[in-house]
Structure formats: structure tokens, C-alpha cells
């Protein structure tokens, strides 16, 4: 899980936009969701809706000072996409479960504030969920929450900041009905 400065949109290449939710009147959050790996839809048909719900819940719970309208892009990709981005922007030649590309943009009064992109790798997320005895839906939502918090400036490089970020993640995930992902759980062997 990593946060890196957001590359220009062209870095992600063309995307299949599954849905673009207009800002809700109360939340003023616009979510653009891009499906770059069909395995998400096949394994978890409700992946787009779950990811959007997790992003909205994280933004609301983080209580960050945001512009009146904010926009986040969620990209449901695969290991190849994430590996390429990880290599290009972090010089790490490996896939990871989630990457966050924060814009660091200050909003103009007449435009939405673009917070950034959260990119998830299907194969890695599915493999981790199975190994940790979690549902794919819960692990997806946890990683979206984690990625959105990175867009808002949260980090976990040092123990103290990691503890604060994990505590906030736990609170957000409880709102979503998801068990504590940091609680050590043993998976019974078949």
C-alpha cells in the first residue's frame, strides 16, 4: 500500500469508465470509477458499488477540510497495470495491492477539487483476501478506504502515524460493517 505523487492522467492510459457518479447533494463527492480488469466484475459483480461506498464513507469520516465539491477516481485494475505504475512512479518492479496518486491540488472556487486516483490490483487483492480469510468484498473496501486516506495525506511510514491511520481505518470499516482487518486471524487449513 503506497501513496505517491499523482502522475498526469495520461499515465494510466485509456480506461473503461464503468460509472461516474455525480456529486450527491449532501456529500458533494464525485466518484469516477474505471474498470481496467474484467476479473473484478466476474468475481465481484458489485465491486463498483462497494468501492464507491467505501470511498464516500472514508471521505465523510476523515473530516478533512475539502472543497465544496471533490472528485476521486477509483481504478479497478490488475497486477500488470499496478506493477507498471509502481515501476514508473516508485521504481519498484512488483505489483502491490493498492496505489494512491494524490494531486495535492488546491481547489479553485469554480471547480471540483481533484483529490487523486486510487488504483487496485485484482490478482493481489484476491490472493491476499484468500490468504487472510477475508471476503474479496471486505478486502476491496478496506483497501479503497486505505487508498482514499492516503489521498487526504494520511500515511503509515512511522509507528505513531501508522497507529493513527489504522485507528481511523477501523472506525470507517466499522461503519461499513467490516471486521478489524488488523486483528490477527488464522485461516484453518482445508
pLDDT in tens, the chain (190 residues): 554 444 434 344 434 444 555 444 444 889 999 999 999 999 999 999 999 999 999 998 887 777 788 899 999 999 999 999 999 999 999 999 999 999 988 777 778 889 999 999 999 999 999 999 999 999 999 999 999 999 998 888 888 888 999 999 999 999 999 999 988 554 444 4
Domains: count for the chain: 1
Does 155 map to a domain? Answer: yes
pTM of the model: 0.83
Q: What is the pLDDT of residue 185?
A: 52
pLDDT for 124: 98
Query: Using H for helix, E for strand and C for coil, what is the string for 93-154?
Result: CCCCCEEEEECCCCCCCCCCEEEEEEEEEHHHHHHHHHHCCCCHHHHHHHHHHHHHHHHCCC
Q: 160 in a domain, yes or no?
A: yes
Could you tell me the CATH number of the domain that includes residue 125? Answer: 3.40.390.30
Q: What is the pLDDT of residue 102?
A: 94
pLDDT value at residue 174: 95
What residue numbers bound the domain in which 159 lies?
2-175
In-domain check, residue 183: no
Task: Report the Cα–Cα distance between both ends of the chain, in Å, rounded.
Answer: 29
Q: What is the arrangement of strands in the sheet containing 113-121, beginning at the earlier edge strand? A: 2-5, 98-102, 113-121, 70-77, 29-35, 17-21
| Residue 74 located in a structural domain | yes
Domain membership of residue 185 (yes or no) is no
Q: What Rg do the C-alpha atoms of the chain give, in angstroms?
A: 16
- What is the dihedral angle through the alpha carbons of 5, 9, 11, 12, rounded to the nearest 10 degrees? 110
Instruction: Determine, yes or no, domain membership for 186.
Output: no
The answer as to whether 163 is a domain residue is yes
**Does residue 190 sit within a domain?**
no
Amino acid at each position: 500500500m503506497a501513496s505517491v505523487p499523482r502522475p498526469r492522467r495520461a499515465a494510466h492510459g485509456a480506461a473503461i469508465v464503468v460509472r461516474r457518479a455525480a456529486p450527491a447533494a449532501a456529500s458533494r463527492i464525485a466518484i469516477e470509477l474505471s474498470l481496467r480488469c474484467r476479473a473484478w466484475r466476474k468475481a465481484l459483480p458489485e465491486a463498483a458499488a462497494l468501492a464507491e461506498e467505501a470511498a464516500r464513507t472514508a471521505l465523510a469520516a476523515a473530516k478533512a477540510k475539502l472543497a465544496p465539491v471533490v472528485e476521486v477516481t477509483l481504478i479497478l485494475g490488475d497486477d500488470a497495470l499496478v506493477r507498471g505504475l509502481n515501476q514508473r512512479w516508485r521504481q519498484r518492479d512488483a505489483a502491490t495491492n493498492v496505489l494512491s496518486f494524490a494531486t495535492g491540488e488546491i481547489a479553485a472556487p469554480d471547480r471540483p477539487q481533484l483529490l487523486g486516483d486510487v488504483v487496485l490490483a485484482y490478482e493481489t487483492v484476491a490472493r491476499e483476501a484468500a490468504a487472510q480469510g477475508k471476503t474479496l468484498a471486505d478486502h476491496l473496501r478496506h483497501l479503497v478506504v486505505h487508498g482514499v486516506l492516503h489521498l487526504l495525506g494520511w500515511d503509515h511510514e512511522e509507528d505513531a502515524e501508522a497507529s493513527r491511520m489504522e485507528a481511523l481505518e477501523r472506525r470507517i470499516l466499522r461503519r461499513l460493517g467490516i471486521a478489524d482487518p488488523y486483528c490477527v486471524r488464522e485461516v484453518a487449513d482445508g
